[in-house]
Amino acid sequence: MKIAIGSDHGGYELKTYLTSYFDKHEIDYDDFGTHSTDSVDYPDYGKKVAEAVLAKPYDFGIVICGTGIGISIAANKVKGIRAALVYNQETARLAKQHNHANVIALGGRTTTQEMAVKIVEAFMESTYEPRHQKRLDKINKIEEEYDV
């Protein structure tokens, strides 16, 4: 299991908490920044993580901004990325089971550290249910249609 993680300044603290948790639990990851609370632009980090996830060897990505909204929008502009803004264990599980999300987005200012860990654990423990493939195929078709 290897995770690609990145955030803007609004997600920096939560990212730091999660990477410390990964270190403690020997979960492999690469940190794509940002590396301080200095103001940066979330699309840059959404794009970096999204591209890393597509290039492998990552199992999934985590993107964090203040709300998780902007950075999930940015990550979803990368063709092949299914970034899900999740806010509890249930949405994390369903993002994997139904949507086969390859990136989860968190809000550094809206998600507690404890909940973020529960979300990541729930996502890692869940499995995609292929009965939903028809809908994912339709998403892929939209991508083809608009070439995004």
Residues that bind ligand RB5 (CB under 6 A): 8, 10, 42, 65-67, 69-70
| Residue 42 CB burial class (10 angstroms; 0-12, 13-18, ≥19) | buried
- Cα separation, 71 vs 57, in Å, equals 21
Exposed/middle/buried for residue 51 (C-beta within 10 Å: 0-12, 13-18, 19+) = middle
Query: For this structure, is 98 an active site residue?
Result: yes
- Beta carbon of residue 90, minimum distance to ligand RB5 (angstroms, whole number): 23
Nearer to ligand RB5, 39 or 127 (CB): 39
Among candidate residues 9, 98, 100, 132, the one labeled active-site is 98
CB 25 → ligand RB5: shortest distance, Å? 26
Question: Considering the complex, what minimum distance in angstroms separates the CB of residue 82 from ligand RB5?
Answer: 18
Q: Which element (helix H / strand E) includes 112?
A: none
6 φ, ψ (degrees, to nearest 5): -160, 160
Rounded to whole angstroms, the maximal C-alpha distance in the chain is 44
Residue nearest to ligand RB5 (CB): 70
Active-site residues, by number, are 98
